Amino acid sequence: MSVWLLVGFLGIASAEPPAGAFDPPATNGSVLQGSVAVAAWIWRHTITIGDGSRCPFHPSCSAYAVHAIRRDGPLGMVLAFDRLQRDGSAHEYALSASGHHRLDPVSDHPRAVDLLFGRTCRRQRAEGSVACF
């Protein structure tokens, strides 16, 4: 394990940082929003540089988490965790314009509060759905 960490850190240290890589992220909003924005920035500019992007979606999983929390507040974490669970089913989503990732923006999903309190299911059943997702 320690060998892999050393290799990872050497890869990070030898990588040329992209322009603006050390510009701090904008943190307008709550403490949670700022914390998630900073954590996502650290993830994108340190860890992902060493091991490469692994999220099959656009926007990236870290950007999705930031967008979900900005839109839904702390409950946006539910959407962020849900996104991580859906990585294996990425082939079911439409391709992005680049053709390398699958489209899955936050705006395509109901608000987290609606999911948590079953409002989405009640709406789907009222519209005649047999199954609710």
Rounded Cα distance, 98 and 29, in Å: 31
Closest CA to 48 of 11, 85, 6: 11
Quote the pTM value: 0.63
CA 11 to chain centre: 24
* Helix, strand, or coil (residue 46): helix
Dist. CA 84–CA 55, nearest whole Å: 9
Name the residue ranges covered by the structural domains of the chain. Answer: 29-105
pLDDT of residue 15: 44
Whole-number CA gyration radius for the chain: 18
Express each pLDDT in 68-90 by its tens digit: 988 998 889 889 998 888 877 88
Q: pLDDT tens, 21-54?
A: 444 445 456 787 788 888 888 888 887 777 667 7
